[in-house]
Structure 1
Amino acid sequence: MVFQLIDQESFAWKTNIIKDLFDLEYAKAILSIHLPTTSRPNKLIWLQNPNGKFSIKSAYQLTTQILPPPPSQAKSVRKNFGSSGCQRKSKCLFGGLALTPYQKKDNLLKRININDPSCLLCGFEVETCCHLFFGCPVAKAIWHSSCWGFKADEQLIFACMDIIKLILDPSKALCPSEDQWLIPLNMALVLDEIWHLRNQVSFQEGQVDIPNSIKQINFKFHEFSTLLESEKPSFTTPVVFRWEPPPPGWIKLNVDAAVAESSSALAVVARDDKEIVSKAWSKTHHPCPPIVVEANAILWVAQLAIQERWSHIIIEVDAKRCFDPLSSKDVIPDWYIANSVYSILNLKVGFVQCCFRWVKRESNSTAHETAKLSLASRESFCFNKDNLPRVVHSAYLGDCLKPHPSFVA
């Protein structure tokens, strides 16, 4: 029975028994489950969603085995085009290119019978995404006349994602170096005009008018580049974030975790308003997903603060998915850290004041280095200001020597 795997005195998993009974994968999964400090009602969890709730979309993806593109590519597309100055309809076009199998008549041909699958602009070949935007003679002419002598037939375009990659990372054009940042905008407008021209011919019985298309592209480019000029990328030194001391009488606890394939480590660094390290703890931990380890680290720091009898504490973390449900009742935690989050909130009432604060990794470097040290040595430690290891001491001095930034709430 499950209760036989739990130590009823310490209310913790019997690690040795679990490792004996289960293979490595199952043992890791069981030990990753945090046992709540107070009983909670049973509930059903839908594993395909981080929030544990069922959705039609996740069920459809599960049953049809349709997977999204790699996260790095999807995030890159959203980040670059989401912040660009292109028209909203252009962003929708690029989103379709990046996130779906965006074929035209050849895709329709697989699903329904259509009389003529040829390209609407030239009529020479089957209309695919790659042909429409780069292989079609009409598209080539528009590209050549509108984008610094860009030659579409010299590009290696085999899939929709190749188009997105080309725009995100275009080759250097024959234009002044200070204008290179405008190349993606120009290319985006060319793609948008080709798509617009294709739809005019298809749905409005329009005619192919290359000079007019070039005129439209130049007009839009001038309009958008003028608007974006004030937001032209600058190459100034980025802002450096610094650890900030708490108010007098408070203790600030920075928390972090480090994860490897076979183990993980938790770390906590406590400092007062004079920036002096009161204590620094680290301990090894069984392997878990990074977000679960971060949640366990925050729970541990709350337990340590109670042991030290600190009444006013600030807990700083760089894990946004842990911070959000701790700082707002309206945010539902991901199902796999829910028990940890609720346990932390239960412990919060034991303090006179307890605040949670999210910081960037640069402001959490001392805790980060402490966690890495524990992970590398596979040892648990407790330090004070007089015996900090060299790497932790260097990170601590770096915190103290950096200039103060403005406060980030």
Structure 2
Amino acid sequence: MTNKWISNHPGNMVIYQPQEVEWEWRVVELIDWNVSAWDRNLIETKFHKEDADAILRIPLSRRFMADSIFWLFNKDGDYSVKLGYRVACKVMKEASMQGESSMAGDIEDGTCVLCKRTSEIELHVLWECGVAQDIWAGSMRKLQKGKGGQLDFLHLVEELMLKLSQEELELFFDPSRLVKRAGEFLEEFKQSQVQLAVSTVSARSSRWNPPPGLSYKLNFDAAIFQDGEASRFEVVIRNNGGEVMAALSARGLAVFDSEEVEVLACRKALEFASDSGFVDIVLEGDNSVVMDAISSSRMLHSRLGHLYLDIHCLATRLHVRSLSCVAR
């Protein structure tokens, strides 16, 4: 229990060691293999609530898998010398800053006051925090459902410089301009509504295309509740005539970020299709990062690699003709 196996948790390990020391304990013993889920009663009984909540948040594979090691500081879980060097520099810098704070007698918690999950550093406040992600989700499309995993704020800036235009970068670094621009758009919208005599139907940003032949199209989506303590999965299966053949709306457990909930939704959708008897399907989602990862093998060593492997196994069994991403 002293190993680092709880990602997105302080120290990536159990903070409060159980009072009843079980030296032979293994993580596998905390899983109820009859339902392929955590043994909630055992975990909540043996562990401190903070540790128990973190353990129960870890998504499990549907299959029995061997242990694997992944590089926590990289999105795809693969280690590289370049990233290792940057992480080492970051650790040394943080250690130096902590030493200076201790000498000055300035000892503070430093936990984010909004999500209470991690240290309140620049990268977290501006990008990683769930509250920040909600704000960016309502701004530019290129920032919606943006991926995380950056080592520091400089790393984030480097990625944005490759992704955004000059004008978009200025909006990112000057939120006041974004607010002003939103006000201008709102005023323009109000004026157009007054001038229009007849209401018109706006064009859809995306068009549903039927699947080929006798196959079925499987669309899925996911959402995270505002308190972050639960998620929801939506699945619909249509034939080539657009008729709904089956649909599902299910409540999920707490998740850490948008990628995790989308991956879990995809797995749930494929399981639903299999249980419903559909074997020839076209899979369609709205998260480009997740759909790209599913179509390749680059994320198999990441924190969610075991979930991507589950999806690959299901897709092979169901004969998934193709994968696509559509904007909502």
| Structure whose alpha-carbon radius of gyration is higher | 1
Query: Which residue of 2 is the match for residue 46 of structure 1?
Result: 71
CA distance in 1, matches of 2:159, 2:60: 39
The code of the aligned residue for 1:302 comes to L
CA distance in 2, matches of 1:9, 1:262: 25
CA distance in 2, matches of 1:24, 1:356: 40
Deviation at 1:245, TM superposition (A): 2.1
**1:36 correspondence with 2:61:** yes
**1:348 correspondence with 2:315:** yes
Instruction: Say which of 305, 319, 323 aligns to 2:287.
Output: 319
CA distance in 2, matches of 1:357, 1:8: 33
Instruction: Say which of 264, 267, 270 aligns to 2:234.
Output: 267
Paired residues for 1:103-122 under 5 Å: none
Query: Which residue of 2 is the match for residue 7 of structure 1?
Result: 32
Deviation at 1:311, TM superposition (A): 1.8
Query: Which residue of 2 is the match for residue 225 of structure 1?
Result: none
8 Å contact from structure 1 (residues 259, 265) kept in 2: yes
| Cα deviation code 1:286-323 (max 9, x no counterpart) | 11123212111111111111112212111211122321
CA distance in 2, matches of 1:338, 1:242: 31
The code of the aligned residue for 1:9 comes to N
Q: Classify 1:281/1:68 alpha carbon distance in 2 versus 1 (closer, same or farther; 3 Å).
A: same
Q: Classify 1:166/1:346 alpha carbon distance in 2 versus 1 (closer, same or farther; 3 Å).
A: closer
8 Å contact from structure 1 (residues 322, 341) kept in 2: no
8 Å contact from structure 1 (residues 314, 356) kept in 2: yes
CA distance in 1, matches of 2:250, 2:222: 10
Q: Normalising by structure 2, what TM-score?
A: 0.57
Provide structure 1 residue ranges, at least 5 long, that are not aligned to the other structure: 86-94, 99-160, 173-236, 363-409
Matched residue count: 223
The code of the aligned residue for 2:303 comes to Y
Query: Which residue of 1 is the match for residue 44 of structure 2?
Result: 19
The code of the aligned residue for 1:27 comes to A
The code of the aligned residue for 2:310 comes to S
8 Å contact from structure 1 (residues 50, 335) kept in 2: yes
8 Å contact from structure 1 (residues 28, 286) kept in 2: no
Q: Classify 1:78/1:247 alpha carbon distance in 2 versus 1 (closer, same or farther; 3 Å).
A: same
In percent, how many aligned pairs have the same letter?
A: 24
Query: Which residue of 2 is the match for residue 252 of structure 1?
Result: 217
Bigger helix fraction: 1
Provide structure 2 residue ranges, at least 5 long, that are not aligned to the other structure: 1-24, 98-120, 128-135, 137-152, 182-201
| Cα deviation code 1:255-289 (max 9, x no counterpart) | 11111222111121111111111121111121112
Paired residues for 1:10-409 under 5 Å: 10-54=35-79, 55=83, 56-65=85-94, 70-71=126-127, 78=160, 83-84=165-166, 165=174, 240-260=205-225, 261-289=228-256, 290-329=258-297, 331-333=298-300, 335-360=302-327, 362=328
8 Å contact from structure 2 (residues 300, 309) kept in 1: no
Q: Classify 1:334/1:168 alpha carbon distance in 2 versus 1 (closer, same or farther; 3 Å).
A: farther
Q: Classify 1:318/1:22 alpha carbon distance in 2 versus 1 (closer, same or farther; 3 Å).
A: farther
| Cα deviation code 1:127-155 (max 9, x no counterpart) | xxxxxxxxxxxxxxxxxxxxxxxxxxxxx
Q: Normalising by structure 1, what TM-score?
A: 0.46
CA distance in 2, matches of 1:279, 1:315: 14
8 Å contact from structure 2 (residues 30, 42) kept in 1: yes
